[in-house]
Structure 1
């Protein structure tokens, strides 16, 4: 006998006594009961069921030869096997069967049986609850121990896909035989080899245990013996998670066993409340209650490890039962004073039958009152008549809960999550730390109070870890390890531009465009807005260069205007010279449009202004070069080109070349003009305030046209470089255009490869360098003669040198 489960019988007795003492329920009838044991055996289950229906000694189907008794309902059993075997017989006779064990209906389609009622919740509600519990504590690498039978395999088959779907893996699965034998040490080693790999995994600190009360007895024995056979090398201090049918129980020979390795275990127990008066009832239980209770004497002897002496034999003091022993002195594994979930279900089952029977009595009484016969003979009532009233029953028990059957004929309100606290004297206390609501009409709910949980001392009261590997901290993500299951992974650093702010992120998250990841990639930091300002060193340098070159150009223009009547100024078209100097001055000044924070006006004007002014400057150079060529070709006798010599040709070249560039810029500004924009991609830690060119194609057309004019000018000047030096600027133009073309040819790849505000700096440098090249190569020699060698700036000197 498992003495702990004797509380189930006492709960039955207690509820029957309460009902019989209650004048408001079954006032004209007495509720009695018969108790049979199945001995965890299929044959005995069928045998006891037949005895209960037909005969106390010999089972003869459909033949009643025992004393008169009216069987109205049966409560049982505690597990799936016994419950369904009883249902095989009871369903044939339409006798209500109220089972108080918690198991999954999927194990057998009991819903279709009209006689099958469940007082305890469906064990299938535990599956999502187990997932929620594991995810709450982030236990992703767990062991599993199951009873080696059909229910255990069903549990594994159902739970494993749910675990994998939620990123939880089974480290190993051990199986415990239901009724094993180990007559030899080798057989014991065989049984231990089925469970100890699960216990030996040091990373799997959480073990799920699915089985029944008998399975728990066997597991306790295997751990006890195995702990010494393995010389205590295997750490069995785990976080045990037990399903609803598992209970901490010890048989008589296990009385001396320690079970402190279950300290801190979390159990899904059938929901229960303290029933008023039950503990007082248990304190008054005495072994002299033997009439009608043949189990009590055996229970008392096994529980208190004593014996009742036969009055005809000599009295033996040692080991004798006095009858004054108290149940509250027993440790929890032998007997509990608090009503367990199974006992609470039995208590509610008895009341459900009583209320249904009471309702049936009232209904029958009303019917007979109408017919004129008020006498009710209980023998006229049949079990099948109770079904209608059971399905509609609803009552409040003494604990204050409203009890009724749902559409699946289930009454269970759910599971309590209890924390097992074991004391040095081998007693224990169950502390409710959570709840699983099984009411599917309102949605399943999971509640856990982590601060109330007491863990095993092995974990130093810290949250136990149960993972295949260490956490991936912020800044890293879980990277799948080749050749391993999903729960075993490596930690990879977040890629550039991404971050992870929590542990064990499956993937990193890209920072918003206006932010960038920190050095450790664990957060995002706001980018700062940058642009080429006047205050920074690069801006100051550009400003000084622009101002200096502008002043030099203005001085050269003033010098040329002052000496406008000298031969060297008059040579090669005086007006084109002034135009070129003015355009170079504007080129230097237009670089200021590129400095400072981009605005709508500056973005609109900068590229078009730069393109037109530079085209004017290059057109002037081209016109001067063509002027030199035409002038010398016109000196040949009979040349027809003489009519092209003059200002009209140079002005036409200047106007035409400049007008084409102006037309291109007008089309650009009219269709897709530049506008202020923010470049958030180029720089990692900065947002670059820039001018979006609008149409990059038009931008390169402007540059391309300017490059075409430069190449034409360079080509013409190159071929005219050997004309007489006195009147020839072709050499200087050739050098200036080589510089100009070199600068802008290098500009394109540099522009494309530079990022941020330095793109603007590259364009400013190209503007200043190319303009300075034209200014220096073309006008510096002339200024040298005008200012330092005025004696050479005479017409007769130039003519004599030419001759």
Structure 2
């Protein structure tokens, strides 16, 4: 079929050039060569003619089988007529005739003016449409020559004479049954300013007034139907769609607009297959295989119904019956497809956009009353009559091969596409085109300027015999009227307001398909009754067509590299983040006081957590601390009972009792860290911890200093040293060292004390309620002072470790301080790395461990001697070296 397209496009470019060139030479120029040409009607092409004051031209594709031509280029090919008459285009023709007769009978629209018509068949071929258009524009006396047509046009609308001569020409043509034909005809008629009103051309390109200034249409631009289909896909959550389109501007433009309209809505095309009319079998086979192999359950088809018929046959052969089809207006209402056996198997539930249907009152009666006896010169009706009733009319070619008609035949009982007026779609577009032309003529012939310019009516008014196409074109642009059906009609440039029907193919009880109206489209507004749709699955459930299932709440979309955006994985949200909508592209973090639930779908308040006395860890630490208090008390009782023995007296009993008291306080202060933190507990635990340990370390430091002083005083000249370390000085030293810590704690807790605060920086549903250090400096001074005393005590004890004594307490202090320092050095990294309440547990453990270290290292050897080796608890043994 590629040669059809060439023949349709090449002549248009050539003819437009010729028209422009010849018009440029002058309208009345004699350089145009006279060409003798047979009349259009006698060349074998039939037409329907009715004279009138104003004649409107019509072009329709009535016959669909073109004649066989011998292009041997040795002689002019004969123009044989096309064959195989179609019933539906014949209905379009009589819609035009009916509208014209209705207008002629009207007393308000064009009163006193009779409209005629010259209607030709274009056979669906562009060059036939060109020939017919030239005949219409040039007058009934010229046909196949462009030069003759222009000559007649110049004579008919010559500016020099101001009078029309020759046969009657048409100032306006209703035709261009395809976008391709409309483009060619508009370019041909443009230089002549002859308006062309198409009833089916839908290409958006025809809206360009710079290229097609004389073009109008009663068919909406394809942009609107593609946008409607895109809205359907988005509203029904179809994100994975296959497409089969015609390999021409109609199909390729539709795919481009569909992708633009769905961009950002997550809709992807799984595949795009193209169909060519000249290679339809192989292309349809390839498209059927693509549909079968694809996971897309929704298929958009944007092509002519004959291509769809072949595609459905290929799908039927492969038993592909579970696809949901989206139909363009080119095939959504095709009666041929609805009745085809393959359609009922593979195309149930088709959802499509269709040209808006509307009733034409009286039209069905008009059709059924048609009869060759009333219209003896109507060759179209005569051939249709013979085809329907299978009889031959008098004086017809079929009279020799068919039985003669009885004369009783009537269309009253005939039911076919011609007589079916239940859904008038293209027929109504033709009807509107006629009324638009009539209203333009009415504006032109009503002399709208005569009242404003009295006395000049002759220069501003037109009469039917002097109408020029340019005048009709100008008034056609301003048409604005109410149709007999009560709808407002006007042209916005070349276009009319977009109005479509949404239709659904539904199976009847007998298994056949019927067309059901389920919604409307007005411009960009889409209204659909979803509950009335019967889907391809046979149920009321909307089919699912996705590359990946939509991500559930609690997950987010993660695109796959190198794949379309609608093919993705669903990753669960991380802790502390949620997604509470389906198909969320990302997870939202919860506020600091909240945390994600287990499903990651909602933020819930975080639960306060702290080290309590009821849990295992708290019970264990409490038990160990209480046991330490008990052991310390037991040692205190032993020392108190044996206070007069040399062992107790030799080790400075007063400082030993004070040390035991401070160790008991250290064990007890650990209990303050367990339980729910409060304002006072936070203050008290830090103060108790700091003061208790300073008191303990101070006692050890004074003890060590006394030991060193005692041995130094034994040297000659050092007798006076001991008077600086008497009992009063020892107590004073301990009080002095402890008072410094008390002062630090008072200042710290007065200015910036620790406060109970949830640790929101730690992730998790449970947040630890801890004592937050408002002043790090104060806490650092408390710990630093304890560390200073501990290091000093360790240094002094290390210096006194080898003093000559049978029981050297300095050795015990050295070991105890080593353990003490080791525990608190290890405490720092353990505390920092421990989460939540376990950091508190680490601090308690450090307190208890260091307290046990001091208790056992210093007092265990003494208790062993006191209780188990009383023979060593003598002054002689202790003084021995």
Map of 1:80-479 to 2, 5 A cutoff? 80-101=179-200, 103-106=202-205, 109-110=208-209, 113-160=212-259, 163=262, 165-178=264-277, 180=278, 190-211=282-303, 215-224=304-313, 226=314, 232-235=317-320, 237-249=322-334, 258-260=342-344, 261-279=346-364, 281-282=366-367, 284=369, 290=375, 294-300=379-385, 304=388, 306-310=390-394, 313=399, 323-326=409-412, 329-330=415-416, 336-364=420-448, 366-367=450-451, 370-371=454-455, 377-406=463-492, 408-423=493-508, 428-438=513-523, 444-457=524-537, 461-469=540-548, 472-479=551-558
2-side partners of 1:262 and 1:372: how far apart? 65
8 Å contact from structure 2 (residues 244, 301) kept in 1? yes
Higher relative contact order (CA 8 A, sep 6+): 1
8 Å contact from structure 1 (residues 25, 354) kept in 2? yes
Moved more, 382-391 or 306-315: 306-315
Map of 1:6-45 to 2, 5 A cutoff? 6-45=90-129
What is aligned with 1:631?
Answer: 710
What is the deviation of 1:361? Answer: 3.4
8 Å contact from structure 1 (residues 282, 327) kept in 2? no
- Report SS of the residue matched to 2:503: strand
Among candidates 861, 871, 875, match of residue 798 of structure 1: 875
Q: 1:263-308: CA deviations, max 9, x gaps?
A: 2112122334445555555555556564675433444555x47454
Q: 1:737-765: CA deviations, max 9, x gaps?
A: 34433432332333233222222222222
2-side partners of 1:605 and 1:718: how far apart? 34
What is aligned with 2:786?
Answer: 706
8 Å contact from structure 2 (residues 756, 771) kept in 1? yes
8 Å contact from structure 1 (residues 216, 248) kept in 2? no
Map of 1:673-712 to 2, 5 A cutoff? 673-680=753-760, 682=762, 684-694=764-774, 699=779, 702-703=782-783, 705-712=785-792
What is the deviation of 1:567? Answer: 6.3
Unaligned ranges ≥5, structure 1: 182-187, 439-443
> Kindly tell me: are residues 658 and 330 of structure 1, through their superposed partners in 2, closer, same or farther at Cα, counting changes over 3 Å?
farther
- Report SS of the residue matched to 1:103: coil
Q: 1:570-627: CA deviations, max 9, x gaps?
A: 6555664455444434433333442333333433453354234323322332232222
What is aligned with 2:75?
Answer: none
What is the deviation of 1:451? Answer: 1.9
- Report SS of the residue matched to 2:535: coil
8 Å contact from structure 1 (residues 604, 673) kept in 2? yes
- Report SS of the residue matched to 1:33: strand
- Report SS of the residue matched to 2:115: coil
> Kindly tell me: are residues 503 and 387 of structure 1, through their superposed partners in 2, closer, same or farther at Cα, counting changes over 3 Å?
same
1-side partners of 2:374 and 2:862: how far apart? 136
What is the deviation of 1:74? Answer: 2.9
8 Å contact from structure 2 (residues 368, 410) kept in 1? no
What is the deviation of 1:514? Answer: 4.9
> Kindly tell me: are residues 189 and 741 of structure 1, through their superposed partners in 2, closer, same or farther at Cα, counting changes over 3 Å?
same
What is aligned with 2:87?
Answer: 3
2:701 is the alignment partner of 1:622: yes
8 Å contact from structure 2 (residues 554, 601) kept in 1? yes
- Report SS of the residue matched to 2:793: helix
8 Å contact from structure 1 (residues 258, 426) kept in 2? no
> Kindly tell me: are residues 371 and 547 of structure 1, through their superposed partners in 2, closer, same or farther at Cα, counting changes over 3 Å?
same
What is the deviation of 1:149? Answer: 2.1
8 Å contact from structure 1 (residues 105, 111) kept in 2? no
2-side partners of 1:47 and 1:573: how far apart? 134
2-side partners of 1:684 and 1:169: how far apart? 39
What is the deviation of 1:92? Answer: 1.7
- Report SS of the residue matched to 2:117: coil
> Kindly tell me: are residues 662 and 684 of structure 1, through their superposed partners in 2, closer, same or farther at Cα, counting changes over 3 Å?
same
2:818 is the alignment partner of 1:769: no
2-side partners of 1:668 and 1:112: how far apart? 88
Unaligned ranges ≥5, structure 2: 1-62, 64-85, 157-164
8 Å contact from structure 1 (residues 102, 244) kept in 2? no
What is aligned with 2:837?
Answer: 757
Among candidates 816, 833, 840, match of residue 736 of structure 1: 816
2-side partners of 1:569 and 1:432: how far apart? 110
> Kindly tell me: are residues 234 and 428 of structure 1, through their superposed partners in 2, closer, same or farther at Cα, counting changes over 3 Å?
closer
8 Å contact from structure 2 (residues 554, 599) kept in 1? yes
The TM-score normalised by the length of structure 2 is 0.76
8 Å contact from structure 2 (residues 328, 354) kept in 1? yes
> Kindly tell me: are residues 445 and 560 of structure 1, through their superposed partners in 2, closer, same or farther at Cα, counting changes over 3 Å?
farther
Q: 1:462-492: CA deviations, max 9, x gaps?
A: 4323233555555554444455444444454
8 Å contact from structure 1 (residues 171, 198) kept in 2? no
2-side partners of 1:753 and 1:169: how far apart? 49
Among candidates 149, 157, 172, match of residue 61 of structure 1: 149
Q: 1:652-699: CA deviations, max 9, x gaps?
A: 764675566567667866786533322345353323222333466765
What is the deviation of 1:773? Answer: 3.2
What is the deviation of 1:497? Answer: 4.7
What is the deviation of 1:428? Answer: 4.8
What is aligned with 1:747?
Answer: 827
What is the deviation of 1:454? Answer: 0.8
Q: 1:180-207: CA deviations, max 9, x gaps?
A: 27xxxxxx75344442233322412222
> Kindly tell me: are residues 703 and 367 of structure 1, through their superposed partners in 2, closer, same or farther at Cα, counting changes over 3 Å?
same
> Kindly tell me: are residues 613 and 174 of structure 1, through their superposed partners in 2, closer, same or farther at Cα, counting changes over 3 Å?
same
The TM-score normalised by the length of structure 1 is 0.82
2-side partners of 1:238 and 1:37: how far apart? 38
What is the deviation of 1:423? Answer: 4.3
8 Å contact from structure 2 (residues 327, 353) kept in 1? yes
Please give the root-mean-square deviation of Cα atoms over the aligned residues, in Å. Answer: 4.2
Moved more, 142-151 or 465-474: 465-474
What is aligned with 2:678?
Answer: 599
What is the deviation of 1:802? Answer: 0.7
